[in-house]
Amino acid sequence: MSKEHGYTSLIRWTGNRGEGTRSYRSYDRTWEIRTPGKPPVLCSNDPLLGGNPALHNPEDLLLSALASCHMLWYLHLASDAGIAVMAYEDAPEATGETEPSGAGRFLRAVLKPVITVPKGTDLAKADAIHHEIHKVCFIARSVNFPVSFEATYLEAGEIRPD
């Protein structure tokens, strides 16, 4: 039997310049995310839509949540499989589209983890773990666009190619 989990968040708009939304250009697309007991996350709209490029936007947050969930499950499943992960870094990429009406959506995402393991690790076994993650990852199971991965493996002490 499945078990439900509850999550909470407070989203507070901070972009009122004094006139509220009197006109389309009279307000900022900024807000903060507050989760009990955690520091606030300052956010803005996508820069393509007039947002502040120095702040996180919903698209950044979704892609980061997807990659983070994948990483956490990878670490868990690698540990269960007897694979010691020494370092893990991901630079995921996503492609979105905007329709003439302004409606947008993600089309796809590619996770690109660089995973450092001890010399002699069975890399085929390490790579196979990725195929299991989307069966269990909360975020990956919740999105409606394809998510693929292109993992790179380094042996401990090896210099990362750029």
**pLDDT tens digits for range 117-144:** 999 999 999 999 999 999 999 999 999 9
Same domain, 77 and 39: no
pTM above 0.85, yes or no: yes
Specify if 2 maps to a domain. Answer: no
Pair 133, 95 in one domain: yes
pLDDT at 1: 86
Q: Which pLDDT value is given to residue 161?
A: 62
Residue 84 belongs to domain with CATH number: 3.30.300.20
Q: Are residues 34 and 62 in the same domain?
A: no
Q: What is the H or E stretch that residue 153 is in?
A: strand 152-155
Answer whether residue 44 shows pLDDT above 80. yes
Assigned domain for 160 exists? no
Instruction: Using pLDDT thresholds of 50, 70 and 90, give the confidence band for residue 160.
Output: low
- Same domain? For 72 and 135 the reply is yes
My answer on whether 86 and 62 are in the same domain is yes
Amino acid at 72: L
Q: What is the pLDDT of residue 50?
A: 82
Report yes or no on 4 lying in a domain: no
Is residue 81 situated within a structural domain? yes
In a domain, 161, yes or no: no
| Spatial distance between the Cα atoms of 52 and 30, rounded to a whole number of angstroms | 8
Residues 64 and 36 in one domain: no
Sign of CA pseudo-dihedral 47, 51, 54, 59: negative
Boundaries of domain holding 41? 10-49
Rounded CA Rg of the chain: 19
